[in-house]
Structure 1
Amino acid sequence: MNTLFSKTTKAVQNTYETLNCSGGSLIIYHQNQLAVEQYWGKQSNKEDAKNIQPHTKFHLASCRKTYVGFAVAYAVMNGYIDSIDDDITKHLPIDKQHPLYKGTTIRHLLTHTHGLKLHNDGVERVFKAGEDWGYQGINIDILSEILQFTTKKTIAQIVKEEVFIPLQFKETGWYNQFDDSFVEVIRPESQPHWTAPINIDGSGMNMYASTREFAKWGLLHLNQGMLDGQQVIDPLIIQLATSFQSPVLMNPDLPDNGFLWFVKNSPAQRSEIGEFVPDGSYQILGYTTVTLLVIPQENIVAVRAFNSFGNPEGYNYLRDVKDFGNNIMLDIKQAIGV
C-alpha cells in the first residue's frame, strides 16, 4: 500500500466492507504517476466468482454522465449547438417537443436545474427552470435527443469516435452483452438482480468501465485533453465541460455543476465534494458508489469502484463521498507536514 495515501486507502476499504457489494478497487494518480492501485473481493457473490482484477468492468451508473457532458461540449465547440442558453425546443424535432419544455435551456439540463420529471403519465414540472436543483434522469433523455438531432450521431458514436478510438479504450462502453470480466451489480436480497437496457446508444444506464480506464479518463481531463504526451482532445472541450455552469440559485447550499460534473465553486452544503477539497476540483458519483475525483490544484486523479446498488441502512452516502476527497487532502497535507 502506498504510504502517502494510507488514510484514503483504509477509508475506501472500509466503504467496501460497509456496502452491499462483493468487490471494490481504488486507483490514485499523483503528479501523473500511479500512486495507488488496489483491488478487493470478487466480481459477484457466486462461489466460483473471479477476483476483482485490473480489467474488471464496473457499472458506472451516473458516472457515465461525464461522457454525456463531453458529447454536449463537443457539439457546442463544433457548432452543432449555438449556445447552452438556447431553449431546448430549438434543438429538438417536432415529435420530441413537449409544452412543458418551453423556457428550459440546455444549461438547465446540464446543471440539474431544469425542474422536469418523468412520471407514469408523462412529463411534469416540479419547479420553474433555473430556480431550484433536482436530480432527475429526464435530462439525459432530452440531451440524447438533442445530440442526435443536431449532430446526427448518438452519444455513443460521438464518444467512440472522439475518445475510445484515439485513446484505444477497450474496457469502457455501453454494453448489452456481458462476459466474465463484468461485475454483477449487488442489490438487496429483496430486489431482483440488476438488468441493463438493450439500447447501447449512450442514453441508457448500461455503461461499464475498468477502474484503470476510468482513471485514464480522469487523467485526460486533468491534463486538458493530453494523454501520454499527445493532444487527444481539444482542451477547450475539457475546459467547457468541467467549469462552473450553474445559473445563480436562491439557495447557496445547492450543488454547483459543470456539464453534469459536480464542480467545487463554493462551500455549498449539498455539494458531493469534500470540504477540504480546493475550488476548481470536479467529481462524479454513481449509484453504485463508483466515484471519479479530479483535483487540478494537487495534480490528483482518484477513482474508487464498487459493485453495490444503492445504500445499506445507516450508510450516509453524501458524507462518505465527501470524505473520499477529504481523506486525499489530509494525506497530502500530512505528507508535506501541514
Structure 2
Amino acid sequence: MVWSAAQFDMSRRSLLRSGAVLGAGALAGGLPFGQVAMAQNTSGQWPRVARLLSDFVASGRSPNAVVALGWGQNPPQYLGQGDTTFTSGLRANADSLYRIYSMTKPITGMAAIMLIDDGQLSLDQPVAEILPAFAEMKVQKVYDGPITEDNLEPAVRPITIRHLLTHTAGLGYSIVQQGPLAQAYAENGLNPAQVSRLVDVPGGLNSPPASSLEAFADGLARMPLVYQPGTHWSYSVGLDLMGRVIEVVSGKSFDAFLQERIFDPCDMSSTWFRVPASEKARLTANYFVLDGEPMPIDLPDSSVYLNQPAFPFGGAGLVSSPRDYDRFLMMLAGFGEIEGRRVMSEPAVRLATSNLFPDTLAPDGGFSSGGRAFGFGAAGLVGMGEAEGLFGWFGAAGTAGLVNMKAGLRQTFMTQYMPADMEMQNAFPQAVAADAAAMQR
C-alpha cells in the first residue's frame, strides 16, 4: 500500500507543527503557574482533565488517551479512555505502549548532562574534539537554498555540545527542510525516525536510514548547516548526533548507556527502541487523520517497532508507556532522585532544566510560540516569566511530557495520531493547571 504525500496533503513542515513545536503554544495561554505552585493536594481529582479525555476520544481522532499526573515523589494518578486500537477491544492503560517520538529528546539530553556532570564532556566543548569530521563545517548563505559552492560559507564558530542540546547548531531536519538539503538528507540516510512499514510516508521519514550511528554522524558532517552555529533555534537532528557523541565519550553503545544510566535506575521497564515481540499486545496503533478519518499507519501486530532499528534514534526513536515516562519526570521532579535512588546529581538536573541558549543567539533567533519566548535546556523548553520552572517537550503523534520544577507537578499525555494538532496539546496543560489550581480552594 502506498500513501503519497500529495494524498495526505502534508508537507515536511506539517510534521514539525504536529506537536513537536507548536504544542508549546499551550504553555503561552496564561496558565496560572503561580497557583499551580501552591496546589499540592495529592488526593485531589482532575475533573477537567477527565472530561477533556472523554471528549477527545469521543471525537474519533484516536481510539484512546491516557494521562499520568503526579506531585513530586508521590505516586501518579492515571486517567484513561478508549482502547489500544479501534478494533482491539483492549482498554488502553498506564502500561500501554506509545511511540513518543520527540519526547525521546529530553531523555537523550539528560544522558548528555550526566556525562558533563561526570567530567567527560563540557557544555561548550566543540563537537569536533569528539567527532573530528565536524571540524570544518560549511553554512548555507541562503537558508534552505541550493547546496552549491556559491551558497556556502565557512562556519564562524564550532558546533558545541550546548548547540546540540538547544537546537542552535545550525543542523537541518528532514521534517523541516524543503529545499535540496531535504533530498540530500534522504539520499544519505539521515533519517531521524522510523514511522511505518508503508512505502511512502510524508516528511521523508521512511527513507532508508544510515547503517549505524557512526555512519549517520559521518554523513551529517558532509552536509551544510542551515544557520551559523549558535545564532538561531532551528529544530534539528542535533539530539540524534548527540547519541553518537554519547557512545564515543562513554565507550558504550548509546542504547546501552540509556539503559544503564536512566532506564534501569528509574525502573523504566517499558521503554525501548525495539518493542519485544512478547509485548506487542501492549502496543497502541498509530493513525493518520485524513479528512477527519483515522487511517492506520502502524498497527501492533505488524509494527515497525517490532524490528531492530538501524540505530537508536536519540531524537525520536523511543516507545514508552504513561507509567514509564512519568517515572522519568518523577526523577526530574526529585532533582535527580527517585524513590530514594540517586540517578542524577541535583546540580546536573538544575543545569539541564535551565535556559542554556548560547550568548551568540541572534535577537530574533530564540524559541517562541503563541507570541511568548521560551528558553531551552537539555532538549526541552524552559518556561520563563510566569511559566518559570516548566520543562518538557512534545511528540509528533500527539504526546506531551512536562514537569513544573517549582511545583513538582508531573504531567504526561499519551495518544497516537498524526499529524497531531494544537488543540489537545493546548488544552491538556491548561486543564491540568486549572484542576491543580482548584485543589487549593
TM-score using structure 2 length? 0.65
Alpha-carbon distance between aligned partners in 1 of 2:275 and 2:165, rounded to the nearest angstrom? 26
CA shift in 2, pair 1:333/1:65, >3 Å: same
Match of 2:114 in 1: 74
Per-residue deviation, 1:305: 0.4
Q: Determine if contact 1:31/1:300 at 8 Å carries over to the other structure.
A: yes
1:301 aligns with 2:373: no
Return 5+ residue gaps in structure 2 as ranges.
1-42, 140-154, 174-181, 186-222, 299-303
Q: How does 1:36-47 map onto structure 2 within 5 Å? A: 36-45=77-86, 47=87
Q: Distance in 1 between matches of 2:60 and 2:357?
A: 32
Deviation per residue, 1:20-44 (Å, 9 max, x gap):
3221101111354346311111112
- What is the CA distance between 1:59 and its match in structure 2? 1.0
1:22 to 63, 69, 79: 63
2:285 maps to which residue?
184
CA distance in 2, matches of 1:180, 1:129: 44
**Structure 2 contact 244–254 (Cα < 8 Å) conserved:** no
Counterpart contact for 1:155–1:202, Cα < 8 Å:
no
Query: % of aligned pairs identical?
Result: 16
Count of matched residue pairs: 317
Q: Note closer, same or farther for the CA distance 1:258–1:13 as it changes in structure 2 (3 Å cut).
A: farther
**Cα displacement (A) at 1:16:** 4.2
Q: Which residue of 2 aligns with 1:157?
A: 256
For 1:51, give the aligned amino acid. Answer: R
Deviations 1:175-201 (A, max 9, x none): 154411111211246977244462353
> Offset at 1:329?
2.3
Secondary structure of the equivalent of 2:411?
Answer: strand
Contact 2:98 2:321 in 1 (8 A): yes
Aligned twin of 1:87: 126
How far apart in 2 are the matches of 1:183 and 1:173? 14
For 2:57 and 2:130, the matched residues in 1 are separated by 43
Equivalent position to 2:389, from 257, 263, 280: 280
Shift of 1:14: 3.5
Q: Which has the larger radius of gyration?
A: 2
Q: Deviations over 1:18-70 (max 9, x none)?
A: 5732211011113543463111111123x234221232111111001111001
Residue 233 of structure 1: how far off its partner (Å): 3.1
Separation (CA, whole Å) in 2 of partners of 1:100 and 1:148:
25
Q: TM-score, normalised by structure 1?
A: 0.83
Q: Is the 8 A contact 2:108 2:315 kept in 1?
A: no
Deviation at 1:97, TM superposition (A): 5.9
RMSD: 2.6
Q: Closer, same or farther in 2 for the Cα pair 1:26/1:92, shift >3 Å?
A: same
CA pair 15-154 structure 1, distance change in 2 beyond 3 A: farther
Any idea what the Cα deviations from partners look like across 1:202-229, whole Å, max 9, x if unmatched? 5363311110111111111101122223
Equivalents in 2 of 1:31, 1:84: separation in Å?
28
Q: Which residue of 2 aligns with 1:237?
A: 348
Contact 1:176 1:199 in 2 (8 A): no
Q: Which moved more, 1:144-153 or 1:5-14?
A: 5-14
Would the alpha carbon gap of residues 55 and 200 (structure 1) be closer, same or farther in structure 2, given more than 3 Å must change? Answer: farther
Q: Is the 8 A contact 1:283 1:293 kept in 2?
A: yes
Q: Counterpart in 1 of 2:440?
A: 336
Residue type matched to 1:172 in 2?
Answer: T
- Work out the CA distance in 1 between the residues paired with 2:251 and 2:99: 27
Asked whether the 8 Å contact 2:106–2:392 carries over to 1, the reply is no
Q: Which has the higher contact order (CA 8 A, sep 6+)?
A: 2
Q: Compared with structure 1, are the counterparts of its residues 231 and 151 closer, same or farther at alpha carbon in structure 2 (3 Å cutoff)?
A: closer
Q: Does 1:130 align with 2:230?
A: yes
Q: Distance in 2 between matches of 1:295 and 1:169?
A: 21
Tell me if structure 2 keeps the 8 A contact 1:157–1:201.
no
2:172 equivalent in structure 1: 117
Q: Tell me, what secondary structure is at the counterpart of 1:29?
A: strand
Structure-1 residue corresponding to 2:431? 327
Deviations 1:132-152 (A, max 9, x none): 22112x212321221222222
Distance in 2 between the 1:19 and 1:87 partners? 48
Match of 2:241 among 127, 131, 142: 142
Q: Aligned AA for 1:58?
A: Y
Q: Where does structure 1 lack aligned partners over 5 or more consecutive residues?
A: 267-276
8 Å Cα contact 1:215/1:303 also seen in 2: yes
Q: Which moved more, 1:63-72 or 1:23-32?
A: 23-32
